[in-house]
């Protein structure tokens, strides 16, 4: 067993000079108030060990990391039929591109860009009587934490300023790829992005993807082995928007980022790791977070490649 704690401590020291070089997400006003110099990492293994440093137990807005949870829940419900409504290819464009959605006639390129995630949210609304409760219950099941909640101030802030998301949802509706009321879809979508979790909780909640679709603690199967493999593949190719190729090149793990500054990644058969640093790069990904994960795979010699 590697001394993961000392490795995480080394990483923290090496990335500290990067703090101050990125920018906290400002297009969602409620996210502007976060302390930009926060930094935390948490690593959990399939053997049940946990290693944490820094602000790993402070909760933050997970934002687009939530798209992994909703995709897993929808994939478990619909199976392969899900891909009739959303694609599987990297976007190569910003996560909220209207031009790409128009070019592709309302079939989003993948489930992690905003348009694709809203289609997934629409699927959940069609399949659950109380979708917001169903999403929270699912995240609580994955993490083993009963008091995971939405941050309603952030959800409201996103909805009040999410004009591009509203445009995407209405365009999807006009082409028949949103079944439910657009306002309902936007409401559920903004709430899922406003879930607050810590690095430790996020790493724990991603362990099922490192364990072939099974939650290790209770041996509960969430996805089939094939579905877990496919979801990991989508994270590797699409989890970082127009920086997905660079992340695969530099880090070499399936993962997902959020504009709250969080990133979660997995090494199948071994572990899940989460990092939080609120300052973002030009692609909307955590600047120090990506460097931290690059250092992790370099120092440990562990990746999927």
Report the alpha-carbon distance of residue 70 to residue 82 in Å, rounded.
12
Strand partners, 195: 150
- d(CA 261, CA 63) in angstroms, rounded, equals 9
> From the candidates 15, 241, 257, 266, which is the catalytic residue?
241
286 catalytic residue (yes or no): no
Cα-flanking dihedrals φ and ψ of residue 23, to 5°? -135, 135
Two structure tokens written together for 293: 């994960």
**Would residue 105 show up in a list of annotated catalytic residues for this protein?**
no
Cα–Cα distance, 44 to 196 (Å, whole number): 19
The single residue of 86, 119, 251, 259 carrying the catalytic annotation is 259
Q: CA-CA distance, 235 to 40, in Å (whole number)?
A: 22
Residue 102 tokens read as 């128009």
In the annotation, is 150 catalytic? no
Q: Which helix (DSSP H) or strand (DSSP E) does residue 21 occupy?
A: none
Is 67 in the active site? Answer: yes
Q: Which of 34, 61, 189, 256 is catalytic?
A: 189
How far is the first Cα of the chain from the last one, in angstroms, to the nearest whole number? 20
Judge whether 64 counts as a catalytic residue.
yes
Which is catalytic among the residues 15, 52, 67, 277? 67
- The answer to whether residues 300 and 2 touch, using CB atoms and an 8 Å cutoff, is yes
Q: Contact, 213 vs 271, CB < 8 A? A: no
Q: Which of 64, 66, 143, 205 is catalytic?
A: 64
Other beta carbons less than 10 A from residue 50's beta carbon? 14
Three-state SS for 88?
Answer: coil
* Number of neighbours of residue 33 by Cβ within 10 angstroms: 9
Q: Which residues are catalytic?
A: 64, 67, 189, 241, 259
């Amino acid at each position: 067993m590697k001394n993961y704690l000392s490795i995480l401590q080394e990483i923290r020291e090496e990335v500290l000079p990067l703090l101050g070089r990125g920018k906290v997400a400002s297009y969602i006003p409620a996210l502007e108030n976060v302390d930009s110099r926060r930094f935390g990492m948490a690593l959990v293994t399939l053997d049940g060990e946990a290693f944490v440093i820094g602000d790993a137990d402070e909760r933050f807005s997970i934002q687009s990391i939530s798209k992994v949870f909703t995709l897993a829940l929808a994939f478990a419900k619909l199976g392969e039929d899900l891909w009739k409504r959303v694609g599987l290819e990297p976007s190569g464009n910003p996560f909220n591109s209207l031009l790409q959605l128009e070019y592709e006639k309302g079939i989003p390129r993948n489930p992690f860009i905003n348009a694709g995630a809203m289609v997934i949210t629409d699927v959940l609304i069609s399949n659950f009587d109380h979708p917001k409760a169903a999403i929270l219950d699912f995240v609580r099941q994955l993490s083993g934490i009963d008091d995971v909640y939405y941050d309603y101030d952030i959800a409201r802030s996103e909805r009040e300023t999410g004009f591009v998301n509203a445009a995407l949802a209405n365009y999807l509706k006009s082409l028949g790829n949103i079944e439910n009321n657009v306002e309902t879809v936007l409401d559920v979508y903004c709430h899922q992005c406003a879930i607050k979790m810590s690095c430790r909780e996020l790493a724990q909640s991603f362990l099922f993807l490192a364990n072939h679709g099974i939650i290790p603690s209770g041996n509960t199967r969430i996805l089939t082995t094939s579905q877990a493999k496919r979801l990991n593949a989508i994270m590797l190719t699409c989890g970082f928007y127009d920086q997905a190729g660079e992340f695969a090149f530099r880090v070499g793990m399936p993962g997902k980022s959020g504009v709250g500054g969080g990133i979660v990644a997995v090494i199948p058969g071994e572990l899940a790791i989460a990092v939080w640093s609120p300052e973002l790069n030009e692609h909307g990904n955590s600047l120090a977070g990506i460097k931290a994960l690059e250092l992790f795979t370099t120092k440990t010699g562990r990746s999927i490649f």
